[in-house]
Chains A and B, each alone.
Chain A
Amino acid sequence: MTIVEIRAADKVFANGTRALAPVDLGIGPGEFITLLGPSGCGKSTLLKMIANLLEPSSGTLRWWGGGFDHVGTEGKKLVFVFQDATLMPWASVRGNVRLPLDLAGVERAAADERVNQALALVGLSKFDAAYPRQLSGGMQMRASIARALVTDPNLLLMDEPFGALDEFTRNKLDQDLLELWQKKNLSVVFVTHSIYEAVFLSTRVVVMAARPGRVIEQVVVDEPYPRDERFRVSQKFAEYARRMQELLAHANTLGEPAH
Chain B
Amino acid sequence: MNQARLASIGLPLAVGVVFLALWQFLVTWLDVPRFLVPSPTVIAATLVEDWSLLWTSLLFTLKITFLAFAAAVVLGTLVAFVFVQSRLIETAFFPYAVLLQVTPIVAIAPLIIIWIKHPTAALVVCATLVALFPIISNTTLGLRSVSPGLLNLFRMNKATRTQELVRLRVPSAAPYFFGGLRISSGLALIGAVVAEFVAGTGGTSAGLAYQILQAGFQLNIPRLFAALLMITLTGVALFMGMVLLSKWALGGWHESELVQER
Contact = CB atoms under 8 A, between A and B. Distances in A.
Interface in A72-112: 72, 79-80, 82, 84, 86, 88-91, 99-100, 102-104
A90 B158 contact: no
Given A86-B147, A88-B150, A90-B171, A131 B253 contact: yes
Given A90-B171, A103-B158, A53 B254 contact: no
15 contacts: A51-B156, A53-B152, A80-B152, A80-B156, A84-B149, A86-B147, A86-B149, A88-B171, A90-B171, A90-B174, A90-B252, A90-B253, A99-B153, A103-B163, A131-B253
B253 A103 contact: no
Contacts of A72: 158
A53 B149 CA distance: 11
B219 interface: no
A133 interface: yes
B167 interface: yes
Interface string B201-229: 00000000000000000000000000000
Closest 3 CB pairs of A and B: A86-B149, A90-B171, A103-B157
Contacts of B254: 89-90
B159 A103 contact: yes
B55 interface: no
Q: Which bucket holds chain A's interface residue count? A: 20 to 34
Given A84-B149, A88-B150, A90-B174, A133 B253 contact: yes
A86 B153 CA distance: 8
Interface of B is mostly: helix
Contacts of A100: 157
B94 interface: no
B152 A89 contact: no
B239 interface: no
Contacts of A53: 152, 156
Interface residues of B, number: 19
Nearest to B150: A86
Contact of B252 (A79, A82, A103, A131): A131
A102 B150 contact: no
Contacts, number: 45
Nearest to B168: A88
A84 B149 CA distance: 8
A104 B167 CA distance: 13
B156 A89 contact: no
B128 to A, nearest CB: 30
B13 interface: no
B258 interface: yes
A91 B227 CA distance: 45
A74 B147 CA distance: 29
A150 B158 CA distance: 16
B155 to A, nearest CB: 8
Given A89-B253, A131-B252, A103 B149 contact: no
B154 interface: yes
A102 B159 CA distance: 10
A89 B175 CA distance: 12
Nearest to B154: A103
Contacts of A99: 153, 157, 167
Interface string B165-184: 00110010010000000000
Contact of B152 (A82, A90, A102): A82
B150 A133 contact: no
A51 B154 CA distance: 13
Nearest to A87: B150
B250 to A, nearest CB: 8
Given A79-B156, A90-B254, A103-B159, 7 more contacts: A51-B156, A72-B158, A86-B149, A88-B171, A91-B171, A104-B157, A132-B253
Nearest to A157: B156
Contacts of A103: 154, 157-159, 163, 167
B252 to A, nearest CB: 6
Contacts of B253: 89-90, 131-133
